[in-house]
Amino acid sequence: MTKRIGVFVCKCGMNIAGSVDCEAVTEFARTLPDVAFAANNSYTCSEPGQAEIKKGIADHNLDRVVVASCTPRMHEPTFRKTIEEAGINPYLLEMANIREQCSWVHLHDKAAATEKAKDLVKMSVARARELEAQTEAVVPVTRAAMVIGGGIAGIQAALDFAENGYKVFLVEKEPSIGGLMAQIDKTYPTMDCSI
């Protein structure tokens, strides 16, 4: 089935536009298969930037979106919410990191950085083509945990679980807990007895 992918290229002020030709990347995106619309703007995560995404979705009947901007660690939740508000499943989003992986690391070679940005966008569009809508499920969780090993790490993990309301089963093969820590006479820097 034909997809209608929208590509939005962010300039991030001069953060990206300073070393990537965003117009050229946008033009290139328009030539990719299944791309129905491509545009660029100054700050895609801003209110006006997100409004442009929503308008692009409505005007061009887009069914998935690629945002070429910064790391998804920063704004993937932002753009998922944006496209969801425009009526698209939030998991039909792909991002191309043309800032941290491109403009910032190729600051002084605009031609090469632009070519790399095109490649990153091309790969994201290819991934976007294969995306499927997802639903988030809420499932019951058994609030119990088994910690294997009663050394200092296991004891601390068991205490952390217990403090968070989990029933804990601490399993230790030796007759007593404490592990290597229990064999140490004193610990630095307080010189306390370790037992």
Q: Which helix (H) or strand (E) element contains residue 68?
A: strand 64-69
Q: Quick one: which of 175, 191, 9 has its CA closest to 99?
A: 9
Kindly state the number of chain residues that form the binding site for ligand SF4, as judged by CB under 6 A: 12
CB of residue 77 to ligand SF4, shortest distance in Å:
12
Contact pattern from residue 45 through residue 84 relative to ligand SF4, giving x for each residue in contact according to CB under 6 A and a dash for the rest: x-----------------------xx---xx---------
Q: Is 12 in the site for ligand SF4 (CB under 6 A)?
A: yes
- Binding residues among 113-132 for ligand SF4 as defined by CB under 6 A: none
Can you tell me the distance from the alpha carbon of 134 to that of 91, in angstroms, rounded to the nearest whole number? 6
Give CA angle at 25 (23, 29), nearest 5°: 115
Residues in the chain: 195
Residue 186 is classified by DSSP as E
CB-wise, 69 or 124, nearer to ligand SF4?
Answer: 69
Residue 33 CA to residue 130 CA, distance in Å, equals 13
Q: With binding defined as CB under 6 A, does residue 7 bind ligand SF4?
A: no
Q: Which residues are within 8 A (CB) of 23 and not within 5 positions of it... i.e. 6 or more apart?
A: 40
Give the pair of three-digit tokens for residue 142: 């058994």
* Span of 7-15, 88-96, 114-122, 126-134 interacting with ligand SF4 by CB under 6 A: 7-15
Instruction: Tell me if 99 contacts ligand SF4 by CB under 6 A.
Output: yes
12 vs 117 by CB, closer to ligand SF4: 12
Q: Which is nearer to ligand SF4, 91 or 104 (CB)?
A: 104
Residue 50 or 147: the one with the smaller Cβ distance to ligand SF4 is: 50
Q: Which of these, 11, 138, 5, lies nearest to 61 by C-alpha position?
A: 5
Contact set with ligand SF4 (CB under 6 A): 10, 12, 15-16, 43-45, 69-70, 74-75, 99
